[in-house]
A and B are shown apart, each in its own frame.
Chain A
Amino acid sequence: MHRVVVTGIGVVSPVGLKLEDFWKALVEGRSGIGPLTLVSTGRLNGCIVAEVKSFDPAAHFTDKQAHLMDRFAQFAVVAARSAVSDAELQISDRLALEIATVVGSGTGGHSTLDDSYLKVYGQGAARVHPLTIPRLMINAGASHVSMDLGLKGPTWAVATACASGTHAIGQAFHMVRSGQAPVALAGGAEACLTFGSIKGWEALRVLSRDTCRPFSKTRSGMVLGEGAAMLVLETREHALARGARIYAEVRGFGMSADAAEVTAADPAGEARAIEAALKDAKLGAENVDYVNAHGTGTEMNDRIEALAIYNVFGNRAAELPVSSSKGVLGHSLGGSGALEFAATVLALHTQTIPPTANFEAPDPACMLDCVPNVARQTPIGIAMSSSFAFGGLNAVLVAGRA
């Protein structure tokens, strides 16, 4: 068994593509949420989203490269390139054969799907663009990261809705820990702000019309977002041998399924994933200093998540710092777990807990110390990041100070 560390992080987020901008916004609780501009809002109710506004494909790709990729795969590739450069990782021909690439996505190429459906159903066209299938496939993110960086090791996509990024990093962590790969590039990517997708979310009646206020009494629902994060994981000895900067150590990963309802969260299922992650890390609940919550800002999620936290942490739950990054980043589905694990790793690295943004008033239904609006500098030895997906699929990562 190898110890596994995080040495590089790359993000494409609603608050920037540079890691320092991303972290600064999270620490300041500066929200990336605003009015929808990517698609026409004419027939939409839910027009408040967290868009990646600063993303210009031409700044990253030739026309020919960009043409092959849906926005979600472009996000994955840009985040992966940034992660490798952040890690100062030199990928030799030999290493390229061994690096694992795991990229989560909840929905894959959603704009491609929307455009092709509009053409064939809406406009009665005889045909769609020949790149429709290669652009929309859910593994396009993983495949393009592999092609762009020349990574030839085990490569696949993970689809577990809102937990995809967390499951992807967890699987990559287990591969590196077991010695199946010395290095892995793992994360998640999503670009789901399309007319069809927003309509679908609208129909579930979970979208907020003002902003995302996790754990706040005044919360009014979730805000859809988009983005990607990719992390370089490597064995500690590999990182030390090349003198790499180590952000944090990945300690454990746990998964569970509720086997209950498709959209309703289940405190027992969530608690089992948290306990599985702690067991995998050989740690107890008393060791955890900070939880980066799933915290979507819906009535149901926040209440159930607080229950799950009380189930695991008992009386300590009231004092344990638990913050959600979704007030800043929105909910980028398959991208969110990766972006939030990046935030968790940076919290350990800087010994700073990013706050829950947009918080107004405590809710008796989720009495947590959710670090409202103001970051907190405090010793953090062990931190945890949770993702609880539609379909009842839960994934939790545990990381420790380097």
Chain B
Amino acid sequence: MRAWEKNGVDVADEIKSIIGKVLKIEPGTVKAESRLSELAADSLDIVEMVYMFEERFDISMELEARESSFAVKIKRGAQVQNVELDTVGDIVDAVRQIVDAKVG
């Protein structure tokens, strides 16, 4: 169990709620397998979501926006990995990794 989740915070639920808030849709309709493109999230929506994840989890995310896809840079020790954000599940995994790396 992660440090965050010990305090009763479910990262996945928090993220779905933020996505719902940004896209003005019911958080219940946001599933792990939902693709960002299916949710009609545009680049400004993604930038706003990332801002809200940063604020909520007190982390910093390095976002790389391309024409129609998004990636974040995640540090693992000395290595930096580009992680594609295609689905809501991808976002949850990326945020968890960044939170974990921070909490240690």
Contact = CB atoms under 8 A, between A and B. Distances in A.
Interface in A57-72: 62-64
Contact of B51 (A62, A63, A129): A129
A127 interface: yes
B67 interface: no
Contacts of B24: 62-64
A130 B46 CA distance: 10
A130 B51 CA distance: 7
Interface in A117-152: 126-127, 129-131, 134
B10 interface: no
- Give the one of A62, A127, A134 with max B CB within 10 A: A127
Contacts of B81: none
B47 interface: yes
B80 interface: no
Interface string A104-118: 000000000000000
Interface residues on B, range: under 10
B62 interface: no
Interface in B44-65: 44, 47-48, 51, 54-55, 60
Nearest to A128: B51
Main secondary structure of the interface of B (DSSP, over half): helix
A130 B60 contact: no
A131 B48 contact: yes
Contacts of B60: 126
Interface in B29-88: 44, 47-48, 51, 54-55, 60
A127 B44 contact: no
A327 B48 CA distance: 42
B51 to A, nearest CB: 5
A130 B50 CA distance: 9
A175 B96 CA distance: 56
Nearest to B60: A126
B47 A130 contact: yes
A214 B51 CA distance: 47
Nearest to A134: B44
A129 B54 CA distance: 11
Contacts of A130: 44, 47-48, 51
B70 to A, nearest CB: 13
Contacts of B44: 130-131, 134
Nearest to B49: A130
B39 to A, nearest CB: 13
B66 to A, nearest CB: 17
B53 to A, nearest CB: 11
A62 B24 CA distance: 9
**Which of A64, A127, A129, A130 has most chain B Cβ within 10 Å?**
A130
B54 A127 contact: yes
Nearest to A131: B48
Contacts of A63: 24
A129 B51 CA distance: 7
Contacts of A131: 44, 48
A158 to B, nearest CB: 26
Interface in A282-326: none
A70 B60 CA distance: 27
B47 A127 contact: no
B78 to A, nearest CB: 25
Contacts of A127: 51, 54-55
Contacts of A62: 24
A58 to B, nearest CB: 13
Interface in A77-127: 126-127
A74 to B, nearest CB: 17
A131 B50 CA distance: 12
A127 B54 CA distance: 9
Contacts of B51: 127, 129-130
8 contacts: A63-B24, A64-B24, A126-B60, A129-B48, A130-B44, A130-B47, A131-B44, A134-B44
3 closest Cβ pairs, A-B complex: A130-B47, A64-B24, A130-B51
Given A130-B44, A131-B48, 4 more contacts: A62-B24, A126-B54, A126-B60, A127-B54
